[in-house]
Amino acid sequence: MGTPARSRTLLMTNAVEFLSVSRLFGTVRAVDGVDLSIKAGSFFAMLGPSGSGKTTCLRLISGFERPTGGTIRIFGQDVGRVPPNLRNVNTVFQDYALFPHMNVRDNVAYGLMVKGVDRRTRHAKAEEMLALVKLDSYGDRKPAQLSGGQRQRVALARALVNEPQVLLLDEPLGALDLKLREAMQDELKALQQRLGITFVFVTHDQSEALSMADTVAVFNNGKIAQIGSPADVYARPRTRFVADFVGSSNVLDPAMTRALGGPEVTASLRPEALRLVPAAGATLCGTVTGLRYLGPSVRVTVQMPFGVLGVMVPAGSPCPEPGSSVCIDLAPDALHVMEDE
């Protein structure tokens, strides 16, 4: 692993490809003609609200769902007729799905056992994996004796011991508290970089997706609304839905965009691209209607003559009182034109 030649081939290969894949449940189009390619070795996030089709996409990769139409390829091979157990793809389940009747070591060694690896070898491998997730001395415990974070690590070790080509993670951090979640985010990212395995990560938490992934696909109504790097998706949302769902942008209708000096189109405007300025010489003024403390910054809601805008002010800098008049200024390139949906 890690030779330049290999890295290059890896980067040129697609780990997963969807060619106009659909999955219908009755008349509901859970996945609706999705085209998608996930680069080998990348950290790919599927982001979207519940019911947007992201989890179904994950289950199509693992093989728990079969596409109603279209083709799925894993490392170039059509998997239309390949059942889950013959795909070298492993999943970390949302509820971890640890086997309650086995101890941690046997849970981790399960994939090797069913492939016929002898007991000593598979136990050694399992211990190695447990060490990797920092659970060295937990092999004899039952899943019920572990905390949520520990179970999550066991689930991770159990998947990784099979050396999968693609690791699927279904909201794996959803059940953890904030502190633990942040620590696990860093660990997962580090692990992915170290192992070089393709990670496909499903989440509804936009900050999680943006902070961890190389590429983010935003799902809406069974379709991909936008796919791109986190910076791209954040700064240049393609549609109103993406702007609304990712971050806390001001979504401007054509009249508002016009009022702010842009063309008459729908646009998005990041609250941190706006600044509060002294009234002297300013043209855009309004009244403060609300303040929300977000820790490192304060979000100020301003009622302008043409609509409401959110403005981000760094905490510690002077902050206006609700009811007071303020004026705003924006950078010329802050307005981002969006497509109509």
Partner 1 sequence: MTRPAILAPRGPGDRVSALFWRHPRLFTALLLAPPLIWLGVVYLGSLAALLLQSFYSIDEFSGLINREFTLATYAELFRPQNMDIIIRTLTMAAMVTLGAAVIGFPIAYYAARYARGHWKAMFYLGIMLPLWSSYLVKVYAWKLILAKEGILNWAVDSIGASFILSGILALPVVGGNSLSTSYIGTWMVFLYIWLPYMILPMQASLERVPTSMLEASSDLGATQFQTFRTVILPLALPGVIAGSIFTFSLTMGDYIVPQIIGNSARMIGQAVYQLQGTAGNIPLAAAFAVVPILIMLVYLTIARRKGAFDAL
Partner 2 sequence: MLSDRASWGLKAAAIGGLLFLHLPILLIFLYAFTTDERTYQFPPPGLTTQWFAVAWNRADIWPPLYLSLKVAVISTAMALVLGTLCAAAMARASFFGRDQISLLIILPIALPGIITGMSLRSAFAIMEIPFSTWTIVLGHATFCIVIVYNNAVARFRRLSGSIIEASLDLGANGFQTFRHVLLPNLGSAMLAGGMLAFALSFDEVIVTTFTAGQQSTLPIWMLNELVRPRQRPVTNVVAIAVFVTTFVPILIAFYLTRGGSETAGGGK
* Residues in touch with partner 1 (CB under 8 A): 63, 66, 74-77, 79, 81-89, 115-116, 163, 165-166
Neighbours of 100 (CB within 10 A): 9
Distance CA 288, CA 322 (A): 5
Find the shortest distance in angstroms from Cβ 5 to partner 2.
30
- C-alpha closest to that of 175 among 148, 206, 203: 148
Residue 67 C-beta: closest distance to partner 1, Å: 12
**Backbone dihedral angles phi then psi of residue 46, each to the nearest 5 degrees:** -105, 115
Binding interface with partner 2 (CB under 8 A)? 62-64, 83-86, 89-91, 93-95, 97-101, 110-111, 113-115, 158-159, 162
Asked if residue 54 lies in contact with residue 66, where contact means CB atoms within 8 angstroms, the answer is no
Task: Look at residue 82 and give the partner it binds from partner 2, partner 1, none, a contact being a CB closer than 5 to 8 Å depending on partner kind.
Answer: partner 1
**Distance (Å, rounded) from C-alpha 20 to C-alpha 283?**
49
Cβ-based nearer residue to partner 2, 64 or 293: 64
Q: Which option in partner 1, partner 2, none does residue 163 bind, with CB closer than 5 to 8 A by kind?
A: partner 1
Q: 201: closest CA among 55, 76, 23? A: 55
**Using CA atoms, how far apart are residues 246 and 48, in angstroms rounded to an integer?**
9
Say if residues 314 and 297 touch (Cβ distance below 8 Å): yes
Residue 56 binding result from partner 2, partner 1, none, given CB thresholds of 5 to 8 Å by partner type: none
Q: How far is the CB of 83 from partner 2 (least distance, A)?
A: 7
42 binds, among partner 1, partner 2, none (CB under 5 to 8 A by kind): none
How far apart are CB 216 and partner 1 at their closest, in Å?
24
293 binds, among partner 2, partner 1, none (CB under 5 to 8 A by kind): none
Q: Are β-strands 14-25 and 69-74 bridged in parallel, bridged antiparallel, or unpaired?
A: antiparallel
Question: How far apart are the C-alpha atoms of 31 and 52, rounded to whole Å?
Answer: 8
Least distance from partner 2 to the Cβ atom of residue 137, Å:
23
CB of 145 to partner 2, least distance (A): 17
For the record, the structure tokens of 222 come out as 């069974």
- From the list partner 2, partner 1, none, partner contacted by residue 113 (C-beta under 5 to 8 A by kind): partner 2
Closest CB to partner 1 among residues 81, 179: 81
Q: Tell me whether residue 163 or residue 177 sits nearer to partner 1 (CB atom).
A: 163
* CA–CA dist 304, 276 (Å, integer): 13
Question: Minimum Å distance from CB 89 to partner 1?
Answer: 8
Q: Which is nearer to partner 1, 75 or 93 (CB)?
A: 75
Which pair of tokens denotes residue 225? 């609304």
Cα 238 to Cα 50, 94, 244, 265: the distances in Å are 20, 29, 11, 13
Six-digit token string for 30: 């859970």
Residue 121 interacts with which of partner 1, partner 2, none, CB < 5 to 8 Å by class: none
